[in-house]
Structure 1
Amino acid sequence: MAATAPSGRMPALYLGHGAPPLADDPVWPGELAAWSAELPRPTAILMISAHWEEAPLTLGATGTVPLVHDFWGFPEHYYQVRYAAPGAPHLADAVRKLLRSAGTPVQDFPDRGLDHGAYVPLVEMFPAADIPVLQISMPTLDPRELLGVGRRLAPLRDEGVLIVGSGFFTHNLSALRLPPGAGVPGWSAEFDDWGQRALEAQDVDALLDFEHKSPAGRLAHPRTEHFAPLFVTLGTAEASGDLDAGRSVIDGFWMGLAKRSVQFG
């Protein structure tokens, strides 16, 4: 990982964040670590996770507070994970300035730590926990509104901020394939292939209307929350003019779910 602050615009990412057992996967942690090694060192990281829906848009803790272990029924050691990254109060101020307006309030939740959609991938990508992190909520699951949020956040990339939408490219927990390696359901493979082609074509309109234009859209996403962070990332890329610089960095499947993760810029 680069040791100095970036001299140009930071990339914007959408990644599959995995469940807490991601750390035990034989392949995926290495893929995330290799990805971060190719990135310039951010001045700060702004996380938008599928696991925090709150309106109006809310800023999480700007100091180091305990993580949110927002999962149940896992072995105890997953609840012992810590990620004591510095808070990012200056980034919080910048986000308020970019997003707050007369019709768009922004609120604070100063005790809200990083949830597993944020810290699970960060542990693998930036294990030293020495980069300031701010998490913000998704105020809606409307793809078009989230695209607008991303557009307004785009200037942060020129200040060295790594904007990360954290979700899952397909996400249907009732259709998980257990044990791992048990195969990939057709709907997951079809949606992943369609999504890859839509991204390569820079077809934002198709992605916005994925429920109707994709194969098995509602099987791939019974709720939209794990696809929704992609639209924040797409909005930043669109506003920065680098939709054509998008690429898939990680692909493949985990328990039948597509872990496709993409980078713009």
Structure 2
Amino acid sequence: MTLLAAVYAAVLAGLVLAGVPVLWVVAGAALVLLAQWFSTERLARRMTRARYVTAEQEPELHAVLDRLCALADQPKPRLALSPDPAPNAYTVGRSRRSVTIIVTEGLRRRLTPEELTSVLAHEIAHVLHRDVAVMTLASSLAIFLASAAKGTGQLAVRAPALFLEEFPVGIVLGLGVLLGGAAAAVASFVAHLPLRALSRARELAADRTAADLLGQPGQLASALLKVHEGAGIPLTDLRRGVPALGLVACRTRKGSLMATHPDVHTRVARLLGTG
């Protein structure tokens, strides 16, 4: 978190040194944070095509949540189901009282009721630890920088054509926008390194809390191994810049610094007390 704060401070200081008024920089950062804070849950549901389900529609899942929330002394979150065939579960929301747990149909089909309970306990652990709020606050500027880098890259390609009649204005403008986009991309990449490390640490903590909550670490270990079997894990991350904490991430190289989750064998070993 300290490293991440240093990266963000450097970005904001760079904008001020570049001539942007301090008030604009502060207001812009606040707007970015507020936009992420209030839109995360809605965006995550839209990206996963999830819909809220009531206790009448899904009595078994709601009964599991009721039990887990009683064990954890935690307000019951909203429950949503996604038609996604990839096995996963997500926790999104700003606080303990405004949180939604999203379960995919692929996860329900692959796991036993006991394993699914352990997965929901993992998501409840994220709520207890306030992980979604932490990751939303921590990732807002990094996500904005990544979006800015992509947008300025596209604009840099178009700028020369837009101002071709006023040569060399178009070329100069294009280069300026390209340099700005490159700076945003570098800052975003550097900011994402501590973010991903933070995410991996929070996943391990949620695994442990889920195991303690149920007293059955083997069930969560079994669920993790099942979810990672075969071709079920997607190649691309459905979250796409939305700070939603999922049970598993898209496929990444083992030991990758940009991985949002620890390697599954590391997680299983920790749960079973062998790592």
Please indicate, yes or no, whether the TM-score normalized by the shorter chain is above 0.5: no
More helix, by proportion: 2
What TM-score results when the alignment is normalised by the length of structure 2? 0.30
Larger radius of gyration: 2
| Greater fraction strand | 1
